[in-house]
Structure 1
Amino acid sequence: MLHGAAESGVTLRSIAETIARGLDLPAVSLTPDQAAGHFPSPFLATVHGFDAPVSSAYTQELLGWPPTQPTLLEDLEHGDYLTTPTS
């Protein structure tokens, strides 16, 4: 399987914390029981309870691809996702 992630081991928690920081909101951890009440479906509660880190080492080797763009967390922190569009 090929992965286009430049870095390995990015946790869902670190993604959530980065987004929360950009929105000036608190990031909180939920127990499995709390998550079941928070998310609209049991599937989402279960999926968000797991970290499934990926590695692109095989992809980089196979394709001769050296990542050059910002990492996911850098992109989330410094990208323009949280800016309000202007008309």
Structure 2
Amino acid sequence: MTTDGPQFPCQEDPELFFPNSSSGVGLALAEEAKRECHRCPIKDACREEALLREGSSAAKYRYGIWGATTPAERRAIYDTRRKTAVAA
């Protein structure tokens, strides 16, 4: 099966998913990107992939909106999961 054009929101407007700041216009763009993520069929898998790479040197996953999360949100999820795993 072939498709014409992008399959996922991030393919339609990749720049939207990498705002250059976390305040002002950048914050508004991040919120718009997160809304777009919510209509994506692979949102959860995308977020999990970014979280798997959070502790690595895979810089591409440290920036931008992945799976409807900002870098700060992913870091918080990662830290919580790590603390939970250590306590278990």
Larger Rg belongs to: 1
Of structures 1 and 2, the one scoring higher in RCO (CA 8 A, sep 6+) is 1
TM-score > 0.5, shorter chain as reference: no
Normalising to structure 1: TM-score of the pair?
0.24
- TM-score (norm: length of structure 2): 0.24
Larger helix fraction of residues? 2
